[in-house]
Amino acid sequence: MSGGSHFLQIPGPTNVPDRVLRAISYPTIDHRGAEFADLGRAALDGLRSVVRTEGDVVLYPASGTGAWEAALVNTLSPGDRVLMFETGHFGTLWAGVAHDLGLEVTLVPGDWRSGPDPEELERRLREDTEHLIKAVAIVHNETSTGVTSRLPHLRAAMDRAHHPALLLVDTISSLGSVDYRHDEWGVDVTVGCSQKGLMLPPGLSFNAISPKAREAAHRASLNRSYWDWAPMLEAGTKGFFPYTPATNLLYGLKEAVAMLHEEGLDSVYARHRRHAEATRRAVGTWGFETQCRVPEEHSPVLTAVVMPDGQDADALRAAILSHFDISLGAGLSRLSGRVFRIGHLGSLNDAALLGTLAGVEAGLRVAGISHRSGGVTAALEYLADTATPS
Amino acid sequence: MSGGSHFLQIPGPTNVPDRVLRAISYPTIDHRGAEFADLGRAALDGLRSVVRTEGDVVLYPASGTGAWEAALVNTLSPGDRVLMFETGHFGTLWAGVAHDLGLEVTLVPGDWRSGPDPEELERRLREDTEHLIKAVAIVHNETSTGVTSRLPHLRAAMDRAHHPALLLVDTISSLGSVDYRHDEWGVDVTVGCSQKGLMLPPGLSFNAISPKAREAAHRASLNRSYWDWAPMLEAGTKGFFPYTPATNLLYGLKEAVAMLHEEGLDSVYARHRRHAEATRRAVGTWGFETQCRVPEEHSPVLTAVVMPDGQDADALRAAILSHFDISLGAGLSRLSGRVFRIGHLGSLNDAALLGTLAGVEAGLRVAGISHRSGGVTAALEYLADTATPS
Amino acid sequence: MSGGSHFLQIPGPTNVPDRVLRAISYPTIDHRGAEFADLGRAALDGLRSVVRTEGDVVLYPASGTGAWEAALVNTLSPGDRVLMFETGHFGTLWAGVAHDLGLEVTLVPGDWRSGPDPEELERRLREDTEHLIKAVAIVHNETSTGVTSRLPHLRAAMDRAHHPALLLVDTISSLGSVDYRHDEWGVDVTVGCSQKGLMLPPGLSFNAISPKAREAAHRASLNRSYWDWAPMLEAGTKGFFPYTPATNLLYGLKEAVAMLHEEGLDSVYARHRRHAEATRRAVGTWGFETQCRVPEEHSPVLTAVVMPDGQDADALRAAILSHFDISLGAGLSRLSGRVFRIGHLGSLNDAALLGTLAGVEAGLRVAGISHRSGGVTAALEYLADTATPS
Amino acid sequence: MSGGSHFLQIPGPTNVPDRVLRAISYPTIDHRGAEFADLGRAALDGLRSVVRTEGDVVLYPASGTGAWEAALVNTLSPGDRVLMFETGHFGTLWAGVAHDLGLEVTLVPGDWRSGPDPEELERRLREDTEHLIKAVAIVHNETSTGVTSRLPHLRAAMDRAHHPALLLVDTISSLGSVDYRHDEWGVDVTVGCSQKGLMLPPGLSFNAISPKAREAAHRASLNRSYWDWAPMLEAGTKGFFPYTPATNLLYGLKEAVAMLHEEGLDSVYARHRRHAEATRRAVGTWGFETQCRVPEEHSPVLTAVVMPDGQDADALRAAILSHFDISLGAGLSRLSGRVFRIGHLGSLNDAALLGTLAGVEAGLRVAGISHRSGGVTAALEYLADTATPS
């Protein structure tokens, strides 16, 4: 306890706005009543508006990991081949889920510093002349590395290859903070969840579903019950759910979507791009590298910073947490101890970002890590030069 | 809008106490940090104390339906036989889940007015000399009928039959309101969730796991990923979870368990038995029957009331909702329109129960349904005669 | 701790709706900023709409007692004569405030069972041919007795007497639950506060001010600073206050007024009259008398029940509180131990009123107080026969 | 709306911690019941612990302005002389209150850049050989200028002069953030309120009272009713109040005091001194002056910054608010447009302070005001060099 509010600057869960926290504290209501139906419809319509689809959405009381599973079990059959990409920790984890469910996974190796290569995707699909690959699964924003996949280019690659595989996209850490267009980009299943750009606590996840994916679901024979789209879609048309939904998080979802539209989705996305650039200017001034090495793929929602050789990222994070009450993201699996991650997604304004960066700069000083000072100054000058009045 | 607070007297989700609502509005924290670990451990320990087990518990960000699935996929293999009971709507639904997952279900027919018969259970297990039945699945409190299974007798029947089947028990609508003893009663997997006797919003569910069930999990070959106990148990020893947990509901769980222990579990159970008796006295005075026909099996947490022939239970419920702002439970599937259900589980005191019963009696009058008046008087006299000062 | 929510059925503070409780938990804002100005104007306009005035309103961070003082110090000078009525505890207390501030009080004696008599008022004013009486102060609803003064008749009496005294009215326990019309009834200063019919926690009070009262304020020479209308009125035109206002209660006020208008003021008043009649039917069935002895003056917002001789009202209240978690109002000063008061003001619906009455009836039984049973039945039958669907 | 939470960096009301906001949303309870008595006592004891007195405390549902009035009307009689100091806007306002109440005020002129001079105080008291001065009134922390009076020196001056005047101290913006000792420093009446260092919304204020002040109250003849200590002190011994207290703010007070003691009062004071020094380093780097010109009198809780000639402080504040969502304090009365004030009191951590200072530095750039960059860097380096781990 040392005054003030904790700065939760991990790349999700994010700082939940107090409007949303209050919304989830509304009294729980009858999930079979007319009042609930209005809420259920509003929740599903809200998701549609953020995912940018006119199509189907199903919403689970579950973590994002559950929606990963849902995307697979509803569209695929035992032994089906899925093309996945080792973009980092989460791309690898999703491949593990697919494997556990009895699918054949081709995991395209990656360097954890860049997104899937559209040319490699095209080449691999062209080589699959028998169309054994039933689905291509891509993580939109790889939360472990701060790399955002170039989805429109990847979609174009699939189209050029004239390959019928479904396109499954994980938007877990991007949705609501990074531009995303389910329908326009021809995504078949979008996987998303509540606790990142949607500014909610964890506990909700969802799939947006293209007609082609829905068609595939009729043939898919992996066992499914909880994740089954069919009863969800049927009940959903009336705003209901086949089993008890997470009512109070739905209140929050409705409020969070309202907040996103009050600001305007395009403004929200611009805010995150601007915060990411400010963060990179601080990182560059300090003399550090970002884990992402492809300029067009820098994530708008988090920045993974590579520590100088011999320095322990976790010791730095611990120093920043204990001295300055700021949580940062750890390096995961192979990046453990080598990077730390600054989350700048969800509900965040310039002052809080600058407070975070100042805390990191102060932490570098406390931890005795050699760096150039002035990172925050660089960030604030960039923000000042690009600020617009409300 | 007509003043006052809604009376949510369905048999779950229940009226969430304001202490719990405030708890779930705490700021979301880093699910990989030390503060979270304390919360995670407290949540799991709290569940253990209510389930009354010294053993393992896994907790999912999911509805109770998910914990049904978890109990099955972690212990069984494709084609395994499960003995289940048609106690009502939910017993039948659980059997459907088992079927969808590729299990062979033997559903013992029932009359929807009584619990599983211990003698029939013993007979069926004795007949299964080859031990093809791998699990017996029982709903502790059948929420659609207001019947509570006599678990100790059913356990004794299994023991007398010397049958090695696992005992899986759904405590979804009983836990936290009806006496339950996972270890003492030799249950192998307990299935529970948040939104009933635990007084939380929906969104959490769990399994309590006996050593025998854990052993079975090593051999069970149904596909599993999200529901897999192994990574849950491993992470749980440190208070963590293999994927993002529903942090804010965990705050609520910790608070709700604290409330149950402040009152004392035995006092809580006695309160619900007393409320159930008061409710039955009102129902009897009105001249109606309960759906439960076995005196020892009357549920402490809800009372399903059978309408006189020719009267529509749903019309009555609608009248009570629109005139008196009280939600009651509908009759489900084959009981649709023929019963209404009064929930008296979770957080409830005498005055609110009496307000509910008075609202029902007033509703009968509004709806023009023939009944004897004085139900509330009978209930309040019973409550007065059995009340103890705080 | 015994489950459920406390029934706060004292005649104020009342059960604050959860919408209002959430509103008062909004983050505090700059009381000199533009966002605040909108809130301040909304709060003042909201009060105007409930008081039914087109004129001036000033709002204090203070209890109702403060607004009593404000009404006096802004309109009167040392030694001025005020005509007040001994309607009960609060009428007497207000006279004490006037006396403490250096005014000459004429306190018309009363029986604590009826409101001011219009004829006596007229007579006293006619006798005051020199117009020494500068103000007539009336409590609209005497909270200690459950008697509502007949304001239109009292106003008419003043008019008939052609007396220029100001009319000061305390609406502390009536406003927002009982029909009231500042402008139409020619009231000069209305005194009100937050924690009764306005459904807020305590901490706000106000004066509504006629042009005649404002004029009087220019001549009034009692010392005043905190309560001075002039700087309040000046700042109020822009939505501001001369000293720091109780920001978070203002959020609640805005929400509470919105709730009153969602239901409709006339519907709110009708709801309270209906609840009062139901309560009296219960009281009559039990065989008890109300403290109010004038049929046209029964309060819509509370019922003071006279105990049979030899019975202690406080012992009954204690039994009801400890056994049934219901707070009732005590008898005050000369009524101590002889009456108990059932509050039915503010946010209340039929089911909660019936739960309260059932708790009282159960309490009579627990306390061994002789009564006829069936009070709740009488109340619910009346409510059923007068209920309208939402 | 542009994401993130508003930075309320005015010198009060301050950012209310979410723990306190949740506390004030507890259900309102019976202010005459046993549960309330515990709360009332806890609130009064909590205030005592922060004011550091073993003596009497009275707590009003009112703003700090009301507690100013209470301090005067309880201790003084019409025409009594009070020695006050023109330390700034608030010192002058308090003198105005005294004047409005009929006291004779001697307002010692000041330059709005320093606190009361102990030598001048001594001299003035020595000159008052007839002891016409009945009270010396001092603002501990002048919120309009960022100057903290040296109370121990001022007390010593009074003692040296052997003058019997009462010492009244306004701790409105200091209490809970600046070291203060009612008993040790021989203060007779301490005036304080809720919305500054006590981290509450506005709406509570109080007096701490020495035995000498209580004695004076017996002789004091200014009219008083609402502010009268006597009934407050009598009811307070049992945890009650003579009129309805602001129950929900009392919940918050209890919680806020708990938070102060969890951190430790001395740690809290050190945190504010450290934040003030960091702020002055930023201000100095930018090339600006503070309004306070006496090094030993720099306020730990706010810094008033003097604008370069020809620059409009309000235009800068407007730019910072509209571009960076940070509220700063305006210059008041004669300082209007010439200073802006950075509040760093109440609940604040290093990261939020640095975010604020970064926002100010960015705002200077946006507004085109000539300054040296690097202010935030200077502040963060100071904070890093003085940080201690939690």
Please give the angle made by the CA atoms of C268, C269 and C272, to the nearest 5 degrees.
Answer: 90
Contact D365 A385 (CB under 8 A): yes
Is residue C257 domain-shared with residue C317, that is, in the same domain?
Answer: no
Residue B339's DSSP bridge partners are: B306
Burial of D296 (0-12, 13-18, 19+ CB in 10 A): exposed
Q: For position D155, which CATH number holds?
A: 3.40.640.10
> Which pTM value belongs to this model?
0.97
Residues of B in contact with C363 (CB under 8 A): 384
Report the C-alpha gap between D185 and D158 in whole angstroms: 11
Which pLDDT score is estimated for B2? Answer: 75
Q: Is residue B187 part of a domain?
A: yes
Is residue A275 domain-shared with residue A140, that is, in the same domain?
Answer: no
Q: In the listed set A261, A285, A318, which residue is the last one of a domain according to the structure?
A: A261
Contacting residues for D67 by C-beta, under 8 A, at least 6 apart: D60, D191, D192, D193, D205, D206, D207
Q: Extract the tokens encoding A9.
A: 């600057």
Q: Is residue D192 part of a domain?
A: yes
Q: Is residue C390 part of a domain?
A: no
Which pLDDT score is estimated for A327? Answer: 98
- Measured over all CA atoms, what is the biggest interatomic distance in chain C, rounded to whole angstroms? 63
Residues of A in contact with C25 (CB under 8 A): 22
**Phi/psi-derived region of residue C171, left when phi > 0, alpha when psi is between -120 and 50, beta in every other case:** alpha
* Mean pLDDT value of segment A105-115: 98
Is residue B354 domain-shared with residue B287, that is, in the same domain?
Answer: yes
Q: Is residue D231 part of a domain?
A: yes
Q: In the listed set C227, C245, C261, which residue is the last one of a domain according to the structure?
A: C261
CB A102 within 8 A of CB A134: no
Is residue D31 domain-shared with residue D173, that is, in the same domain?
Answer: yes
pLDDT in tens, chain C (390 residues): 479 999 999 999 999 999 999 999 999 999 999 999 999 999 999 999 999 999 999 999 999 999 999 999 999 999 999 999 999 999 999 999 999 999 999 999 999 999 999 999 999 999 999 999 999 999 999 999 999 999 999 999 999 999 999 999 999 999 999 999 999 999 999 999 999 999 999 999 999 999 999 999 999 999 999 999 999 999 999 999 999 999 999 999 999 999 999 999 999 999 999 999 999 999 999 999 999 999 999 999 999 999 999 999 999 999 999 999 999 999 999 999 999 999 999 999 999 999 999 999 999 999 999 999 999 999 999 999 999 998
Check pLDDT > 90 for residue A1. no
At A301-316, the pLDDT tens digits run: 999 999 999 999 999 9
Q: Is residue B177 part of a domain?
A: yes
Contact C202 D28 (CB under 8 A): yes
Sheet strands (E) in chain C? 7-9, 56-61, 81-85, 104-108, 133-139, 141-142, 147-148, 166-170, 189-193, 204-209, 289-290, 302-306, 326-330, 339-343
Is residue D181 domain-shared with residue D282, that is, in the same domain?
Answer: no
Is residue A250 domain-shared with residue A316, that is, in the same domain?
Answer: no
Residues of C in contact with A18 (CB under 8 A): 26-27
Q: Is A54 on the interface with C (CB under 8 A)?
A: no
Q: Give the minimum alpha-carbon distance from A275 to chain C in angstroms, rounded to a whole number.
A: 25
Which pLDDT score is estimated for B355? Answer: 98
Q: Is residue C2 part of a domain?
A: no
Q: Give the minimum alpha-carbon distance from B24 to chain A in angstroms, rounded to a whole number.
A: 7
Is residue A239 domain-shared with residue A342, that is, in the same domain?
Answer: no
Q: Is residue B225 part of a domain?
A: yes
Q: How many domains does chain C have?
A: 2
Which of B275, B376, B362, B280 is closest to B325 using CA atoms? Answer: B362
Q: Give the minimum alpha-carbon distance from B256 to chain A in angstroms, rounded to a whole number.
A: 14
Q: Which of B15, B16, B24, B25 to mutate to test the interface with D (most CBs of D within 10 A)?
A: B25
Which of B204, B150, D126, C115 is closest to A247 using CA atoms? Answer: B204
Q: For position C336, which CATH number holds?
A: 3.90.1150.10
Residues 298-317 of B with CB under 8 A from C: none
Chains that touch D (3 or more CB pairs under 8 A): A, B, C
**pLDDT under 70: residue ranges of chain D:** 1
Which pLDDT score is estimated for C2? Answer: 75
Residues of A in contact with D326 (CB under 8 A): 351
Is residue C240 domain-shared with residue C294, that is, in the same domain?
Answer: no
Which pLDDT score is estimated for A2? Answer: 75
ipTM value: 0.97
Q: Which of D104, D223, D241 to mutate to test the interface with C (most CBs of C within 10 A)?
A: D223
At C266-301, the pLDDT tens digits run: 999 999 999 999 999 999 999 999 999 999 999 999
Residues 179-208 of C with CB under 8 A from D: 193, 195, 201-203
Please tell me chain D's helix, strand, coil percentages from 3-state DSSP, rounded to the nearest 5. Answer: 45, 15, 40
Is residue C204 domain-shared with residue C303, that is, in the same domain?
Answer: no
CB B120 within 8 A of CB B158: no
CA distance to C19, C45, C257, per residue, from C42 (Å): 17, 5, 10
Which of A22, A26, A27 faces C25 most closely, judged by CB atoms?
A: A22
Residues of D in contact with A354 (CB under 8 A): 354-355, 358-359, 362, 376
Q: Is B97 on the interface with A (CB under 8 A)?
A: yes
Q: Is C373 on the interface with B (CB under 8 A)?
A: yes
Which pLDDT score is estimated for A302? Answer: 98
Is residue D340 domain-shared with residue D240, that is, in the same domain?
Answer: no
CB D364 within 8 A of CB D371: yes
Q: In the listed set A230, A261, A292, which residue is the last one of a domain according to the structure?
A: A261
Give the least confident one: A81-90, B1-10, C75-84.
B1-10
At B304-327, the pLDDT tens digits run: 999 999 999 999 999 999 999 999
Q: Which of D9, D266, D380 to mutate to test the interface with A (most CBs of A within 10 A)?
A: D380
Which pLDDT score is estimated for A92? Answer: 98
Report the C-alpha gap between B253 and B247 in whole angstroms: 10
Is residue B222 domain-shared with residue B102, that is, in the same domain?
Answer: yes
Q: Is C25 on the interface with A (CB under 8 A)?
A: yes
Q: Is residue D188 part of a domain?
A: yes
Is residue B372 domain-shared with residue B315, that is, in the same domain?
Answer: yes
CA distance to A301, B389, C144, C148, C196, per residue, from C10 (Å): 53, 20, 11, 17, 10
At A260-295, the pLDDT tens digits run: 999 999 999 999 999 999 999 999 999 999 999 999
Domain residues for A146? 18-261
